[in-house]
Amino acid sequence: MTDISGKTKVCALIGDPIEHTMSPAMHNAAFNELGLDYVYVAFGVKPDELAGAINGMKSLGMPGWNVTIPHKVNVIPLLDKLDPLAQKIGAVNTVVNDNGILTGHNTDATGFLQAMLEKGVEPKGKKIAIMGAGGAARAVSFILADRGAYPFILNRIEELDWAENLAAMISQEFDIEVPAMELTKENLGNVLNDAEILVNATSVGMSPNNTVSPAPAELLKADLTVFDVIYNPIQTRLLKDAEAAGAMTISGIDMLVWQGIMAFEKWTGQKPPFDLMKSQAMKFL
């Protein structure tokens, strides 16, 4: 790591909890590789401490920071402005401090899209089945609709209203019809009859429950691209089943790394090496 001095710029992650984060390892390796006099640290910040933390980081002249659960929505009133995508999504995971002006961005969404594009998958004009209707699904749905795709949102019956509300927001924002339905084998099968991409934006299959999948294996097919936003494990049961069916697969680890890369670029003006940041993240898995 670069020697810390009085000139070293400090970037950070704020959230609660933050003990599990891979972000310091990814960013510090990239700072070191590029010879930048920056350091990245993680701060545990409770909800009632959020305003004080934001003011403190602003006062200290920190160039920027990442925001994770549970602050991605509540941080918004504490910022000066949002980029258009973050405004639409209603959530922020990256803040840039430009001489005291705080701007919120959502690199979760742009990182998801970049991970897809890097695999040669262009979602524009395609029908996409999205499983889930929480924060991850919201970011994914908005960026896909913004790109010109046609999302179909499926969620468990207990939270079907989440899916309906999300679908209504996207429909209004982009003037397209976005169906919302219960996540059942029958409904998913019907959507996948002519969908080209399947996205898991639920927590089903996340470690330690990595033997389960939100989609029955028999519904997966070779002409499908399957993207699981879960990154632990790197290859979920869903991705294993998709690979066995001959489908292209994309792991959530790529989304994680790309959202970090895009934040890094906003703070430093330089693009860090993807492979280095990914290798650092994978050391934790």
| Alpha helices (runs of H) in 156-273, residue ranges in sequence order | 160-174, 185-192, 237-244, 252-268
Side chain identity, residue 50: L
Q: Is 92 helix (H, G, I), strand (E, B) or coil?
A: coil
Tokens of 27: 């960013």
Task: Report the distance separating Cα 274 and Cα 208, nearest Å.
Answer: 27
Please say if 72 is a catalytic residue: yes
Catalytic residue among 7, 9, 72, 278: 72
Which contacts qualify for 202-205: CB closer than 8 Å, 24 or more apart?
202/131, 202/132, 202/134, 202/137, 202/155, 203/230, 204/131, 205/230, 205/236, 205/237, 205/238
**Does residue 94 contact residue 267 with C-beta atoms inside 8 Å?**
no
Task: Report the distance separating Cα 173 and Cα 268, nearest Å.
Answer: 32
Enzyme catalytic residues: 72
